[in-house]
Amino acid sequence: MVPPDPKDGSQAVADASAIARRKAEHLEVAASGAADFVRPTLLDDVHLVHQALPERALADVDLATPLLGRTLRAPLVITGMTGGTPEAATINRDLARAAARVGCAFGVGSQRAMAEHPELEPTFQVKDAAPDVVLIGNIGVVQAAQLGVARVVELAARIGADAMAIHLNPGQEMIQERGDRDFSGGLDTIKAALDALGARGVPLVVKETGCGLSPQAATALRAAGVTTVDVAGAGGTSWVAVEAKRAAAGSDAAALGRELWDWGVPTAVATAACHAAGLTVIASGGLRSGHDVARALALGATCGGMAAPVLRAHNAGGLDGAIALLERVITSVRTIALLTGVGAAAELARAPRHLGPTLRGWLDDLGIAAGARR
C-alpha cells in the first residue's frame, strides 16, 4: 500500500505541479537537441565489412532477440524517457503501441513521480493500450534505497512491468537543483532489489542515463549478480546539459553543467566494456539509425536502445511517425545483416569489422579486449 502523504493538500499539489513542470522541461529540452553531446558515441569507429556474396534472401534474416525472458521480434528498445505529465501519458501510451506493433521493448521514465504522488500513476500506465508490449519500469537507485525494495516491486507491479530498471544518474543529479548528493550503498540496494524482484519473476536492468558504464562499473554489477544493463553512454542527449539548460542563468549549477556537458564514457566503449564483463547489453546513448544499432550489435550488444529520435518522430508525426521511424530502423538492421553476410541479428557480433583508431585507443587504454566476441 502507498503510505499517506504527510503533507497538507496544498503542498502536495504544489509538489506534484513542480514535478510535472520539471518533466515537461526535460522533454522539451531533450526533443529540441539543444542538450546533445558534442563528443561522439564512437559508433562511427565501427566499420562492418561488406560481403558481395551474402547467399541468402533478405526475408530470411532473423531479427528475433531474447531479452529479459521474452523474445522480441527486433533487437530494439525504446528506452525510458518520461512520465508525470498529461503530455507524458500520451507519449508513453503511443510509444508503447508503436513498440508492440514492431515487436520491440518499451521503457517508461522514472517512476519516482508516481511513488511520491500516486495521482500521477496514470501517466505511466500503458498496458491497457498495448497489452502485449514488453514493458520496463524505472526508478533511480537513490530513490530505491529510500523507498525500500518492497516499494520497488510494487512500482513494477502497479504498471504491469515485465522487467524493472534501476537507473544510475550521478552526473545529472550533481547539476539538478536539489539533486541527490549521496550515492553510497548503491550496490547493496541493487543486490536487494535483484533478490526481491527475482522472487516475483521480474528481471532487473541496471541503466545509466547518458554518462555510460565503465569497465569498473560493469565488473561490479556482474559481481553483484546483475545480468542485464543499459549502458546509456555518452554521445546522445546529455542530461548534465539538460539540467544546465534548466538551471538559473549565471548560477553555479549552470556553470558546472556547461563545464561537464560532455562528461561520460562513449556509448561504443561502454558497450564493449559491458559485453566483455559478460553482461547482456542494451546499447543506448546517441543511437540515431539502424546502422548505429548494427554497429552496437557488432560490439556485443543484444539490443540497441533509442529515446530522443523516437520522441522527435512522435512530436512530428504522432503514433504513425514513431512507427515509421522504428520500421526504418528495423529494415536498416536487417539490410546490414544481409550485407555483412550473416543470417541473424545476433550474428553481427561475429561479422568481420574494422575498429577506427579512436575507439581502439579507448579500448586499449581501458584494457578492454577489442577482439572479445560471442
| Digit-coded pLDDT (tens) for 10-19 | 555 555 566 6
**How confident is the model at residue 1, as a pLDDT?**
40
Parallel/antiparallel/unpaired status of strands 65-67 and 70-72: antiparallel
Proportion of the chain above pLDDT 70, given as a percent: 92
Give the pLDDT confidence of 342-353 residue by residue, as tens digits.
999 999 999 999
Give the pLDDT confidence of 125-140 residue by residue, as tens digits.
999 999 999 999 999 9
Stronger pLDDT, 244 or 31, i.e. the higher one: 244
Cα 273 to its chain centre, rounded Å, is 16
For range 54-67, the mean pLDDT: 98
Residue 374 has pLDDT above 50, yes or no: no
DSSP of 102-133: HT-EEE---THHHHH-GGGGGGG--TTT-TTS
Residue 103 has pLDDT above 70, yes or no: yes
Residue 4 has pLDDT above 50, yes or no: no
Helix (H, G, I), strand (E, B) or coil at 33: coil
pTM: 0.92
Give the pLDDT confidence of 236-284 residue by residue, as tens digits.
998 898 888 888 888 999 999 999 999 999 999 999 999 999 999 999 9
- Under CATH, what is the fold of the domain 29-365? TIM Barrel (3.20.20)
Cβ neighbours of 82 (radius 10 Å): 24
Give the pLDDT confidence of 160-179 residue by residue, as tens digits.
999 999 999 999 999 988 88
Q: Give the model's confidence band at 2: pLDDT under 50 very low, under 70 low, under 90 confident, else very high.
A: very low
Strands (E) in 248-346, as ranges, are: 280-283, 303-306
Proportion of the chain above pLDDT 90, given as a percent: 80
3-state helix, strand, coil in the chain (%, to 5): 50, 15, 35
Residue 30 has pLDDT above 90, yes or no: no
What dihedral do alpha carbons 252, 255, 259, 263 form, nearest 10°? 70
- What's the grid cell of residue 210? 547518458
Range of lowest pLDDT (143-152, 269-278, 309-318, 361-370): 361-370
Q: Give the model's confidence band at 32: pLDDT under 50 very low, under 70 low, under 90 confident, else very high.
A: confident
For range 112-119, the mean pLDDT: 93
**How confident is the model at residue 86, as a pLDDT?**
86
For range 29-33, the mean pLDDT: 75
